[in-house]
Structure 1
Amino acid sequence: MRFTSKRFLVYSLLITLIFSSLIGCAKEVNTTDTSTPLSMEDRLEDFEYLYKIISENYPFLKVNERVNGINWLEQKEKYIKLVENSNNDTIFMNNISAIVKDLNNGHTHVVDKESFKWYYTVYTNPKYKKSNKPWSKVFKDKTVLKWYGFNEDEFENIKSQGFFGSNAPAFHSDIIIPDEVAYLKISQMNGERVEEDGKEIRKFYEEVKDYNKLIIDIRGNGGGDDLYWMKNVIEPLAKEKMSVGNYIFTRGNYGKPFYKARGMKQSPISKLDKNILENFSQEIKIDFDYYHISNRTIQPKDPIDFDGKIYLLVDKGVYSSSESFAAFCKDSGLATLVGTTTGGDGIGIDPLFFSLPNSGIVIRFSSLLALNGDGTINEEVQTPPDIEVDSEIGYSYENDKAIQYVINN
């Protein structure tokens, strides 16, 4: 669960959903027929509510403009026409999805019917009732439940399947060159495998602790649960306490109950030292209202005493909690990052949700603008590697340029 970190992105789980958002998949959003179709007035009111929430709270409007050339707020008339051309509720939902997709963020999208089942299961989990309360409130809304046609029987079925959809180990270990180069591939930060995988990963570390090089490969890892990498990678390999701090900025007031539930204390940006603020992007000073300093400290736990060099292989597919791992490694100096720039948006708590008042359509969105250790915006520049090398995954170690770079340099 991600309190000041992404522990609750254990439950952002839908890795395929993240990837489909990242590549701009034009998949239609499925819903069920409602007993009474929405009127055009209802649809337009829903759009106005969406526009207000995003305009007041979304953190990446300027980033989207710089990176993708889209001034989302100025597209309002275009979006209204799209809504007006929605002849039925399904088309309306798909058009709302297209409008949100223009924000170009992997954590920001309309929740479709299948995803809704998972999110409902995750955020209404009684075990985390207090810290999940604002999220749960969105999913338990009667209008929302009616729109998605959700019932408790589905809830029980999904719970039995597990949050991550697979109970197989989320890692693979290997020896590339005996006594010299060890390899650990982590395919998913599976929050349900932290303890089980941790025992086996630690055995592997013990086996290779005298090697010169350890390659940790997270290419294509779309995220999951921060606890996976904190406990299974950092704690055994760290020789001393490791701390990384990040500035986080927010806009508007919608997120306040969410941040409070996760213990994320905010201060007015006016209280931030002006000399510090001057080092950041001007939009922070102009467009944002509050700031928070996220300090993540990890203590070694029964350290392996690995004395070799650690290399972290990264690419654009590294996202969410995997991004937070890459950023931590870079800012702490634990590992040398090799490959290409990551996917970003991995520092902070879970994305927020809101529902449209008339339809009940649920929208997920990133709400935090987090800075890298060097003061750059993580969502804009992500985490660049220390050494840029073709990051395409090869069909063998010999044909993998990133792995070969580590071996030969």
Structure 2
Amino acid sequence: MRKKLPILIVTLVFSVIILLSTHIFLNTRLNLYWTKELTEKQKIEDFEYMYNILKDNYAHFYEVKKMYGYDWLAYKEQFTEKVKKTKNNLEFYYALNEILSKFHDGHTYVLSPGHYRNLLGPWGFKPYEDMLKESESSYKMWEKIFKNAHREGELENYYSLMKPKENVTTDVIEPGKIAYLKVHSFLLDYHNEGEEYKREREMIYDFLRSIKDYPYLVIDISDNGAFL
């Protein structure tokens, strides 16, 4: 009996260690993807981090002020109040993108989970792959948040979320003289073997053939944004 007691104690201790280790491991793994709501303090810290990065690195404050009369840096307090008013993580995400939209710069925004997935997948942004992968656990969380708010197709297919239904607009401003062609987005439908791209390409070719003798063609890409 005396010999068996130490063995029993060792076995129990070992079992407790395994159970505790498993509990800690599972909780650590789950917390990576837990959609916990950010606190007001965390949101403000995130916003201020973004604000300071832009303040020190963004190159077009002068152009934004000159073109739109908007001194973005001067609105920090108002931006902070907007962030404070957000009720959940999703509202916080949209508030940040609304703040960034004041630049009128389609290349300055917070990536959505669908866009993030495309950058790591079909678009293959190799120079930024390591940087993007560092955010993978965070985007697992954001993916869950978006799935609760959007249709599954919108999350899985960034193309369908971002690209307008009528992407190409053609018009004749002055018959025989001035034609107009607008392309809203250059985003390609990789997910669908480029079927939509092929259709739009033929539409553009047909239009160009129809106005081949016009001396003037206005090509409008003014609404084209980031990777669109």
Unaligned runs of 5+ in 1: 1-33, 214-308, 322-348, 352-409
Distance 1:104 1:134, change over 3 A: farther
1:144 corresponds to 2:136:
no
Distance 1:202 1:68, change over 3 A: closer
Matched residues in 2 for 1:160 and 1:70: separation?
31
Percent of aligned positions that are identical: 18
Match of 2:218, SS? strand
Distance 1:77 1:159, change over 3 A: closer
Deviations 1:306-346 (A, max 9, x none): xxx223165xx82337xxxxxxxxxxxxxxxxxxxxxxxxx
| Map of 1:158 onto structure 2 | 157
| Map of 1:57 onto structure 2 | 57
- Answer with 1 or 2: which has the greater Rg: 2
Deviation at 1:170, TM superposition (A): 3.5
For the Cα contact (< 8 Å) 1:173–1:183, is it kept in 2?
yes
1:130 corresponds to 2:126:
yes
Q: Partner amino acid for 2:142?
A: W
Match of 1:128, SS? coil
Please point out which of 216, 219, 224 is paired with 1:310: 216
Deviation at 1:51, TM superposition (A): 1.3
Matched residues in 1 for 2:207 and 2:94: separation?
47
For the Cα contact (< 8 Å) 1:121–1:158, is it kept in 2?
no
Deviations 1:76-113 (A, max 9, x none): 344445444556545544543454344444544445xx
Deviation at 1:55, TM superposition (A): 0.8
Name the Cα RMSD after superposition. 4.5
For the Cα contact (< 8 Å) 1:171–1:185, is it kept in 2?
yes
For the Cα contact (< 8 Å) 1:120–1:155, is it kept in 2?
no
Match of 2:157, SS? helix
Distance 1:169 1:60, change over 3 A: closer
Deviation at 1:75, TM superposition (A): 3.2
Deviation at 1:45, TM superposition (A): 1.9
Deviation at 1:146, TM superposition (A): 0.1
Matched ranges for 1:290-309 at <5 A: 309=215
Distance 1:74 1:154, change over 3 A: same
Deviation at 1:53, TM superposition (A): 1.5
Match of 2:45, SS? helix
Matched residues in 2 for 1:64 and 1:141: separation?
32
Deviations 1:353-386 (A, max 9, x none): xxxxxxxxxxxxxxxxxxxxxxxxxxxxxxxxxx
For the Cα contact (< 8 Å) 1:121–1:155, is it kept in 2?
no
Deviation at 1:42, TM superposition (A): 1.8
Matched residues in 1 for 2:163 and 2:90: separation?
28
Calculate the TM-score normalised by the size of structure 1: 0.34
| Map of 1:40 onto structure 2 | 40
Q: Partner amino acid for 1:141?
A: E
Please identify which structure carries the higher strand content: 1
Matched residues in 2 for 1:159 and 1:93: separation?
17
Distance 1:123 1:92, change over 3 A: closer
| Map of 2:116 onto structure 1 | 120
For the Cα contact (< 8 Å) 1:123–1:135, is it kept in 2?
no
Matched residues in 2 for 1:132 and 1:78: separation?
32
Distance 1:57 1:145, change over 3 A: farther
Matched ranges for 1:54-203 at <5 A: 54-84=54-84, 86=86, 88-110=88-110, 116-117=113-114, 119-126=115-122, 128-130=124-126, 133=129, 136-137=132-133, 141-149=136-144, 157-158=156-157, 164=163, 170=168, 172=170, 180=176, 183=179, 185-190=181-186, 191=188, 192=194, 195-198=198-201, 201-202=204-205
Higher relative contact order (CA 8 A, sep 6+): 1
Matched residues in 2 for 1:66 and 1:46: separation?
28
Distance 1:181 1:125, change over 3 A: same
For the Cα contact (< 8 Å) 2:61–2:71, is it kept in 1?
yes
Deviations 1:240-271 (A, max 9, x none): xxxxxxxxxxxxxxxxxxxxxxxxxxxxxxxx
Matched residues in 2 for 1:134 and 1:199: separation?
38
Calculate the TM-score normalised by the size of structure 2: 0.53
Distance 1:46 1:125, change over 3 A: same
> What is the count of residue pairs matched by the alignment?
182
